[in-house]
Structure 1
Amino acid sequence: MTKALGIVGLCIAAAVPTVGAVSFGVPSKVGTGGYAYAPLDPAPVGISFEFFAFPSYFTNVTATNQCLANWKALTGVWPPIRIGGTTQDRAQYDATTSAYVVYSVAKAADAPMTLTFGSKFMTLAGTYAGSVVVGLNRGKNNIENTIAAAKMAVSEIRNLLAIELGNEPEYYPKDGQPIASGTWNPSTDAASQNNWNIRVGSAVGKTGIIQAGNWNQAPPQWGAAQLMAAENATVKQYVRHYAHHNYPGGDVKKLMTHPTTVKSIQVFDADVAAVRRAGKEYVFGETNSVSGGGAAGVSPTFGAALWTMDYVLRASYNNMSRTYFHHGTVGNCQYCFWGRYSMGTPYYGAYAAVALMAGARYLTALDTGTTNYAAYAAFDASGSPIRVLLYNSDYFSGSGSRTSQPFTLTGLPSGTVKGKRLTAASSSSRADQGNDISFGGQYFGNGTCIAGGAETYETTTVSDGQATFALKATEALLVYLQ
Structure 2
Amino acid sequence: MSSILSLLVLSGLFGLGAPLAAAVNVSVPLSLPGNSQPLSPTLVSFSIEQDRWPEWVGIDTRNDFTHDALLRLASFTGVPPKIRVGADSEDHTFWSPTMAVSEAEFSPPSTIIPYPEATKVTVGDKYYTLSHWLPRGTHMTWGVNLGADNATNAVNMAKAIVRAFKSTVVKASGVVLDYIEVGNEADLFSRNGLRPSNWTVEEYVPDWIAIAGAAADAAGIRGKHGPVSLQGAAFAQQQFTPRAIYDLGILDSKPGKAVSIISQHQYSAAFCNGGDFPLTSFMSKAHVRGNLSLFIPDIEATHARGLPYILGETNSIACHGAPGVSNTAGAALWAIDYTLQAATLSIAEVFYHEGIGYKYNFLQPVALNRSIVDGSALDTPLPPHIQPIFYGAMAVNALIGRSGHARVVELDVGDDNVAGYAAYEDGRLVRAVFVNLHAWLASSTGARPSVHIDLGVGLGAGAVEDAFWRGGGKARAKRLVVGHADDTEGLTWAGQSYEKSGDVSPTGRMVDEEVVLSKGLDLRSTEAVLLLF
TM normalised by structure 1 equals 0.89
Determine whether 1:403 maps to 2:442: no
Partner AA of 2:38 in structure 1: P
In structure 2, relative to structure 1, the CA distance for the partners of 1:475 and 1:38 (3 Å cut) is same
- Structure 2 counterparts to residues 27-66 of structure 1, below 5 A: 27-31=29-33, 36-59=35-58, 62-66=64-68
- Residue 141 of structure 1 is aligned with which of 134, 142, 149? 149
SS at match of 2:477: strand
Q: What residue is the counterpart of 2:474 in the other structure?
A: 416
Q: Residue deviations 1:168-213, cap 9 Å, x none?
A: 1122122221xx2474112212232233333322332222211111
- Residue 225 of structure 1 is aligned with which of 236, 239, 243? 243
Q: For structure 1, which runs of at least 5 residues remain unmatched after alignment?
A: 11-15
Deviation at 1:460, TM superposition (A): 1.0
SS at match of 2:398: helix
- Structure 2 counterparts to residues 216-365 of structure 1, below 5 A: 216-218=236-238, 221-230=239-248, 231-233=250-252, 234-249=254-269, 250-328=277-355, 330=356, 332-339=357-364, 340=366, 341=383, 342-359=385-402, 360-365=405-410
Q: What residue is the counterpart of 2:180 in the other structure?
A: 163
Contact persistence 2:10–2:453 (CA under 8 A):
no
Q: For structure 2, which runs of at least 5 residues remain unmatched after alignment?
A: 13-17, 166-174, 270-276, 367-382
Q: What residue is the counterpart of 1:92 in the other structure?
A: 94
Identity between Structure 1 and Structure 2 (%): 26
Runs of 4+ in structure 1 deviating by more than 6 angstroms, as ranges, are 1-4
Contact persistence 2:344–2:410 (CA under 8 A):
yes
Contact persistence 2:9–2:452 (CA under 8 A):
no
Alpha-carbon separation, structure 2, partners of 1:369 and 1:251: 24
SS at match of 1:31: coil
Q: What residue is the counterpart of 1:13 in the other structure?
A: none
SS at match of 2:323: coil
Partner AA of 1:237 in structure 2: K
Partner AA of 1:73 in structure 2: S
Q: What residue is the counterpart of 1:441 in the other structure?
A: 495
- Residue 26 of structure 2 is aligned with which of 12, 24, 27? 24
- Residue 458 of structure 1 is aligned with which of 513, 529, 532? 513
Deviation at 1:294, TM superposition (A): 0.7
Partner AA of 2:181 in structure 1: E
Deviation at 1:65, TM superposition (A): 0.9
Partner AA of 2:127 in structure 1: F
In structure 2, relative to structure 1, the CA distance for the partners of 1:200 and 1:140 (3 Å cut) is same
Alpha-carbon separation, structure 1, partners of 2:9 and 2:80: 44
Alpha-carbon separation, structure 1, partners of 2:94 and 2:294: 34
Alpha-carbon separation, structure 2, partners of 1:49 and 1:6: 40
Contact persistence 2:455–2:517 (CA under 8 A):
no
Determine whether 1:470 maps to 2:531: no
Partner AA of 2:82 in structure 1: P
- Residue 215 of structure 2 is aligned with which of 197, 200, 203? 200
Partner AA of 2:240 in structure 1: W
SS at match of 2:25: strand
Deviation at 1:100, TM superposition (A): 3.7
Alpha-carbon separation, structure 1, partners of 2:410 and 2:424: 12
In structure 2, relative to structure 1, the CA distance for the partners of 1:294 and 1:61 (3 Å cut) is farther
Contact persistence 1:306–1:349 (CA under 8 A):
yes
Deviation at 1:105, TM superposition (A): 5.8
Q: What residue is the counterpart of 1:111 in the other structure?
A: 117
In structure 2, relative to structure 1, the CA distance for the partners of 1:474 and 1:114 (3 Å cut) is same
Q: What residue is the counterpart of 2:532 in the other structure?
A: 480
Contact persistence 2:435–2:527 (CA under 8 A):
yes
Deviation at 1:417, TM superposition (A): 0.2
Contact persistence 2:7–2:453 (CA under 8 A):
no
Partner AA of 2:488 in structure 1: R
Alpha-carbon separation, structure 2, partners of 1:63 and 1:282: 30
Deviation at 1:445, TM superposition (A): 2.9
How many equivalent residue pairs? 459
Contact persistence 2:8–2:453 (CA under 8 A):
no
Contact persistence 1:19–1:406 (CA under 8 A):
no
SS at match of 2:217: helix
Q: What residue is the counterpart of 1:425 in the other structure?
A: 483
Alpha-carbon separation, structure 2, partners of 1:117 and 1:283: 28
Alpha-carbon separation, structure 2, partners of 1:239 and 1:89: 19
Deviation at 1:4, TM superposition (A): 9.9
Alpha-carbon separation, structure 2, partners of 1:409 and 1:200: 56
Deviation at 1:53, TM superposition (A): 1.4
SS at match of 1:445: coil
Alpha-carbon separation, structure 2, partners of 1:374 and 1:393: 8
Alpha-carbon separation, structure 2, partners of 1:393 and 1:452: 26
In structure 2, relative to structure 1, the CA distance for the partners of 1:146 and 1:20 (3 Å cut) is same
Partner AA of 1:278 in structure 2: R
SS at match of 2:29: coil
